Amino acid sequence: MPELPEVETMRRGILAIVGAEIVDVGYPANRLKPIAVTPPRAQFRKRLVDRVISGIQRRGKRIVIDLTGHLHVVIEPRMTGLLLLAEPPDTDHLRVRWELRGAIEQLWFWDRRGLGTISLMKSCQLAERLGPERLGPDALELEAGQLMERLQTSRRAIKVALLDQRAIAGIGNLYASEILHVARIRPGKPCCELTRQQWQRLDDAIRLVLTEAVRYEGSTLSDGTYRTVLNRRGGYQNHHRVYMREGQPCPRCRGRAIRRIVQAQRSTFWCPGCQSR
């Protein structure tokens, strides 16, 4: 499940395609339902061919490939989407192939479950669809106190609010649990009940956890789905404090076992000992 660290790793991994020209776009045939490509495939291909890649951005959990002519390819990996420069994990789930002329000659989009989407947008559409109205401040660019300002009146549980991309962009289910553990905050606590000290600790924990996870190139869980652009595993799964560690002793207090609860149909992992407030 690519969240900010995995998507940032993708962004860094494909930087070498900047300057390349798109020679062709293809869609490998397979038995799977085609993923959503906007506009429809033939037109998407036609509008990309002969354009030059001018930059790569990350906006929350999305990759934006900038093209000449004020166009942008917005890629949402969602659960299992990957950008690859190397040999794919398998060929059954290859969805889109870009043939390039430049330092890198091919880029692939691979997606096992096929929930990912790829959209071509003009600059004005990009500003609308991924602008501040639709996407909160990036979790790695947060200014002190900004999160508190945005959430302090909400009655939602803090864990649920951290997943709201309009409130803050880039945090998903895995890193929300990890962040709250570092911040020593109870995941079910309503936002409006957090103390100033807790908001402060949350700011620090967001930066600490996400920076650490980017350094390890993200998390590859036991299903092995997430891969770097060179089809290698991330390393941060070996440093998770609570995620998928139900029943194991808390790495901080050692006193209590990690628990799993369900919030908004998503698993949350936490320590009832040191996250009691």
Contacting residues toward DNA, per CB under 7 A = 1, 3, 32-33, 60-62, 76, 78-79, 92-93, 112-115, 129, 134, 154-156, 160, 163, 165, 172-174, 223, 262, 264-267
Q: Which pair of structure tokens corresponds to residue 47? A: 């509008």
Which element (helix H / strand E) includes 20? none
CB of 93 to DNA, least distance (A): 7
Judge whether 230 and 86 are in contact, CB under 8 Å. Answer: yes
Q: Which residues are tagged catalytic?
A: 2-3, 61, 266
Q: Which residues pair with 242 in a beta bridge?
A: none
CB of 268 to DNA, least distance (A): 9
CA distance 39 to 121: 9
Count of positions (residues) in the chain: 277
Q: Which pair of structure tokens corresponds to residue 42? A: 């033939």
Nearer to DNA, 112 or 201 (CB): 112
CB of 226 to DNA, least distance (A): 11
Q: Phi then psi for 177, rounded to 5 degrees? A: -65, -45
CB of 34 to DNA, least distance (A): 9
- Neighbour tally for 77: CB within 10 Å: 25
Nearer to DNA, 156 or 233 (CB): 156
Nearer to DNA, 13 or 170 (CB): 170
Nearer to DNA, 33 or 247 (CB): 33
